[in-house]
Amino acid sequence: MSDATNELGETSKTGLKKVRRLPPEVSILAVLIGIALVFEVIGWYVVGESFLGNKQRLSIIVLQVAVTGIIAVGVTQVIITGGIDLSSGSMVGFIAMVVASFAQTSMNARAVFLQPEYAAFGMDWFIDSSLLWPLLAGILLGALLGYINGLIIAKTGIPPFIATLGMMVSARGLAKWYTEGQPVALLNENFTWLGQSFNLWGFPVPRTVIVFFIVAIICHIALSYTRYGKFTYAIGANPQAARVSGIDIGKHLIKVYAVAGLLSGLAGVMLAARAQSGQPNMGVSFELDAIAAAVIGGTSLTGGIGRITGTVIGTIILGVVTSGFTFLKVGAYYQEIVKGAIIVAAVVIDVHRQKKKSRA
Amino acid sequence: MARSQAVSPQTMQAVRQSGAVPQSEYLLEVSDVRKEFPGVVALDDVQLKLRRGTVHALMGENGAGKSTLMKILAGIYTPDSGSFKLRGIDIRLKNPLDALQNGIAMIHQELNLMAPMTVSENIWIGREPLTRFGLIDHAEMNRRTAALFERLGIDIEPEIKVGKLSVANRQMVEIAKAVSFNSDVLIMDEPTSALTEKEVDHLFRIIRSLREDGKGIIYITHKMNELFEIADEFSVFRDGKYISTCNSADVTRDDIIRMMVGREITQMFPKEPAQIGDVVLSAKGLTLNGVFRDVSFDLRAGEILGFAGLVGSGRSNVAETVFGVTPADAGTIELFGKHVDVSSPSIAMAHGMAFLTEDRKETGCFLLLDIQENAQMAVLQQRYVNLGFVQQEKLNKAAAEMANRLRVRTPDMNEPIINLSGGNQQKVLICRWLMTNPKILILDEPTRGIDVGAKAEIHRLISQLAGQGVAIIMISSEMPEVLGMSDRIVVLHEGRVTGILDRAEADQVKIMELASR
């Protein structure tokens, strides 16, 4: 969590060398600003307009990545424990389908759960809410699938890569099975409201982005200030030592994977609301974008290192790159090629950083 | 200077291939060899002379320097100084391949075979016979393996996968591999540690036939009876120093033990008399299949119970079982008079136990995290947490106080623990456990690999804790430490308790006898 490249040597009273470190996010943020400025400059020369000066574009940048960002916040925690979650993209697809089916205009909770003649004790708004029930369904289903991931990993001891690969394939199957491949459309407006933007000082702000930031803040607090967070880092840093320190590794891993699943579920809800439908092929390869965002943000695939703030910046970097290439009218194929290179470069830097640290 | 005269390994190899190897009395002759590691002198001007056609045993306690010397002979370490003569010619080995190509082969304690590959492939890897199309000639390779096995009297199918072989058979394959290099010098590091009696007999037959071929065998062992059965000569080491070389026919068991342990207790151990209280931990018939059997002992409040025994005697395993890391297959543990099923470390901790593990790096430190977090990880199970939130300020204060009490030398509690010295890391780990206010403290090699100053501080601390009524189990390979600190000493040998000695009756010779019978 500390970055050897950013240190200011300073001698303390004890005569021992005291090192003050800048948080590693500073260097990632610098990369983000650097990339944005490069697009700005090229933009003036090539396109003849400002890249960053366009409010619409700025909101699109974040909107584009907000859904993968929510997933990335979850997968960051999984990677910190030394694991990986490949199932999030497929879970988004399946959950978007289920959520959409709960949010169709023709349905509400009264129709699903209660007889029409039931009195609602003045709680009609609650029972009839076409926002609450799909949201709950998505989150709970996500948490359940994540819990299954964690349970399999903790109880059988198989590598997280394999366990979540299995879930990835199965969840995609579930997404197709749920409606036999048909999309679910015509969603209630109360629900799709979640996927739209509101105006803030002239900026169109998508609600998805707000959800992303709230999720990021909550998880940042959880990782930094709670026992849950301390144990997450401990397990990734040294599982044997964590076990001897009395941490129930299996139990904790189940929690972390359930949290990651819950966030995938939330991402599915937001995606369905924004797209105003559920489609079985939604979320394909989102898991890779999320992992990429975490890694670019400084999360180490070997575990024990990573912060949500870094992941948020990593997510935005991916958004800026995508948006910047579109702005420069670079074809989608080239975009993917470059995105791949960026991910590899981020890991190379990470490995280099680790080596430097272990030499110190 | 020896270095300027030294023949390069390549020249030596060429000479050897030409067949014009000069005959000399000793196959291998090293003298004045010195090797330092940061903070420790591992070898202090030692010597070793290996005659043709003999088995030469290396004896000594853990940490006497046997392994370091052996690694120098095998080219794994290069000595800081000293002369190294192979067949009477000065030589400097730069790496294990040099050693191998010059006829020195080492059979490692942890076997170095590739389980998914066949026996033949393992033996001839990197030297595979080729067909005229440049492909590997498996038939020829298997033929060579069969011939080699026949010569050595080994009965293993060349095409079987190594993963399917027993440990003993893998060892045979390793030996065959070493012989296949036409090695003159074979180094065996405790080759019998995992073998049954019958397998040992077979191994000894092979060793004898190698000896008759004029090869020299360096044999490291802790087992006294093997020494008399197979070794012609032996050399004793102690604390990195060479003690002496004798013919094994000329000495008795007691002579050897005296040579191995014959040091004076020079360090002072500040053992303060403590009020010994009630039994707090009582282990009865603890068994972990294949590791230790029927281990029973009592531990009282304020008592320091030493655990002595050689590496592999099961000392650490017993500690791990008592702490719930590897729950016992049979036997019971009573804590404060009540039977407790200690099936996980958190259960042990809930009953006031703490466990400082042997391997700081593997099972102790979170090397990626800072001192603060390392010190706090265990206590978070019990205190300083409110509704899931860590009471960081209170906790930091407590950790800093504890670190201060143990004199952890660091400018900053937020420093990564990896930047601390071994002694200070150890103190941080002790902090971690003392913060949980343990009533039973298990210390596995509490002072391994740390400097003398820190060692004395840790000894003083252990003594203080006992004075405050903490019951302590202390495992140590260092005889003076065990003798100096313990109220009673449990001696283990091959997974069994061979004796429990009182402080008054214990001495090095008695312990050594019980530990190596």
Contact (CB<8Å) A246/B345: yes
Q: What's residue B82's pLDDT?
A: 86
Proportion of chain B in helix, strand, coil states, percent, rounded to 5: 35, 25, 35
What residue has token string 């293993």?
Answer: B156
Nearest in space to B187 (alpha carbons), one of B10, B48, B324: B48
With beta carbons under 8 A apart, name residues in chain A contacting B410. Answer: 16
Per DSSP, what are the bridge partners of residue B332?
B284
Q: What's residue A294's pLDDT?
A: 93
The answer to whether residue B21 neighbours chain A at the CB level (below 8 Å) is no
Q: Is the four-CA dihedral B319, B323, B329, B334 of positive or negative sign?
A: positive
Higher pLDDT: B450 or A62? It is A62
Instruction: Compute the residue count for chain B.
Output: 517
Residues whose CB falls within 8 Å of the CB of residue A221, separated by 6 or more in sequence, listed in order: none
Nearest in space to A232 (alpha carbons), one of A244, A240, A242: A242
Bridge-based pairing state of the strands B488-493 and B471-475: unpaired
Contact of B497 with B286, CB cutoff 8 Å:
no
The answer to whether residue B324 neighbours chain A at the CB level (below 8 Å) is no
First to last CA, chain A: 15
On whether residue A117 sits in a domain, the answer given is yes
- Please check whether the two domains, B2-103+182-261 and B264-352+439-517, share a CATH topology: yes
Which amino acid, one-letter code, is at A260? Answer: A
State the Cα–Cα distance between residues B469 and B430, nearest whole angstrom. 17
The mean pLDDT of chain A is 83
On whether residue A177 sits in a domain, the answer given is yes
Radius of gyration for the alpha carbons in chain A, expressed in angstroms and rounded: 22
Is A1's pLDDT higher than 70? Answer: no
Q: What's residue B321's pLDDT?
A: 92
Q: Is the four-CA dihedral B281, B495, A246, B467 of positive or negative sign?
A: positive
Q: What's residue A212's pLDDT?
A: 94
With beta carbons under 8 A apart, name residues in chain B contacting A230. Answer: 373, 376-377, 380, 390
Higher pLDDT: A256 or A319? It is A256
Distance (Å) from the alpha carbon of A295 to chain B's nearest alpha carbon:
17
Contact (CB<8Å) A2/B418: no
H or E segment to which residue B97 belongs: helix B96-101
Q: What's residue B14's pLDDT?
A: 67
Query: Best mutation site among A10, A238, A245, A249 for testing chain B: the one with the most B CBs within 10 Å?
Result: A245
- Can you give the CATH number for the domain in which A342 is found? 1.10.3470
3-state secondary structure of B264: coil
Distance (Å) from the alpha carbon of B73 to chain A's nearest alpha carbon:
28
Higher pLDDT: B195 or A324? It is A324
Contact (CB<8Å) A245/B378: yes
Contact (CB<8Å) B411/A226: no
Q: What is the tens place of the pLDDT at every residue in A116-134?
A: 555 555 556 565 667 888 8
| Ranges A133-147, A304-318, B80-94: which has the least confidence | B80-94
With beta carbons under 8 A apart, name residues in chain B contacting A227. Answer: 380, 385, 388-390
Bridge-based pairing state of the strands B440-444 and B241-247: unpaired
Q: Locate the chain B residue with the closest alpha carbon to A80.
A: B368
Q: What is the token pair recorded at A143?
A: 């948490």
State the Cα–Cα distance between residues B33 and B78, nearest whole angstrom. 10
Nearest CB partner across the interface for B411, out of A14, A227, A233: A14
On whether residue A48 sits in a domain, the answer given is yes
Is A66's pLDDT higher than 50? Answer: yes
Detail the DSSP E strand segments found in chain A.
Answer: 7-11, 17-21, 197-200, 203-206
With beta carbons under 8 A apart, name residues in chain A contacting B380. Answer: 227, 230-231
Contact (CB<8Å) A242/B385: no
State the Cα–Cα distance between residues B517 and B502, nearest whole angstrom. 19
What pLDDT band is residue A315 in, cutting at 50, 70 and 90?
very high
Contact of B452 with B237, CB cutoff 8 Å:
no
Q: Which of residues 217-236 of A touch B (CB under 8 A)?
A: 225-228, 230-231, 233-234, 236
Distance (Å) from the alpha carbon of B367 to chain A's nearest alpha carbon:
7
State the Cα–Cα distance between residues A324 and A340, nearest whole angstrom. 16
Q: What's residue A90's pLDDT?
A: 95
State the Cα–Cα distance between residues A50 and A31, nearest whole angstrom. 19
Nearest in space to B361 (alpha carbons), one of A238, A219, A120: A238
Nearest in space to B402 (alpha carbons), one of B354, B450, B445: B354
Q: What's residue A67's pLDDT?
A: 92
CATH code, residues B2-103+182-261: 3.40.50.300
Cα B325–chain centre separation: 21
Per DSSP, what are the bridge partners of residue A197?
A206
Distance (Å) from the alpha carbon of B435 to chain A's nearest alpha carbon:
12
Mean pLDDT by runs of 10 across the 517 residues of chain B is 55 64 76 78 86 88 78 86 84 83 79 81 84 85 90 86 83 85 86 75 87 88 80 86 86 79 56 83 89 90 89 86 91 90 90 89 86 88 84 87 82 80 84 90 84 76 89 87 88 89 84 81
Q: Locate the chain A residue with the closest alpha carbon to B384.
A: A227
What are the domain boundaries of chain B?
2-103+182-261, 113-180, 264-352+439-517, 365-437
Range of the domain at A311: 25-359
Nearest CB partner across the interface for B392, out of A225, A246, A357: A225
* Total domains in the fold of chain A: 1
Q: Is the four-CA dihedral A308, A311, A317, A319 of positive or negative sign?
A: negative
Q: What's residue A59's pLDDT?
A: 78
Distance (Å) from the alpha carbon of B438 to chain A's nearest alpha carbon:
13
Distance (Å) from the alpha carbon of B321 to chain A's nearest alpha carbon:
11
Architecture of domain B264-352+439-517: 3-Layer(aba) Sandwich (3.40)
Distance (Å) from the alpha carbon of B388 to chain A's nearest alpha carbon:
5
State the Cα–Cα distance between residues B75 and B97, nearest whole angstrom. 8
Q: What's residue B1's pLDDT?
A: 38
Distances from the Cα of A94 to the Cα of A175, A264, A271, angstroms: 4, 10, 11
Q: What is the tens place of the pLDDT at every residue in A327-342?
A: 888 888 888 888 888 8
What pLDDT band is residue A147 in, cutting at 50, 70 and 90?
very high
Residues whose CB falls within 8 Å of the CB of residue B397, separated by 6 or more in sequence, listed in order: none
Longest dimension (CA), chain A: 80
What residue has token string 């001007």?
Answer: B45
Q: Is the four-CA dihedral A53, A57, A63, A66 of positive or negative sign?
A: negative
Q: Which of residues 406-425 of B touch A (CB under 8 A)?
A: 409-412, 415-416, 418-419
Q: What's residue A10's pLDDT?
A: 36
On whether residue A1 sits in a domain, the answer given is no
H or E segment to which residue B30 belongs: strand B26-37
Contact (CB<8Å) B377/A1: no
On whether residue A16 sits in a domain, the answer given is no
Q: What is the tens place of the pLDDT at every residue in A12-61?
A: 333 344 445 567 778 888 888 988 898 889 888 888 888 887 777 877 88
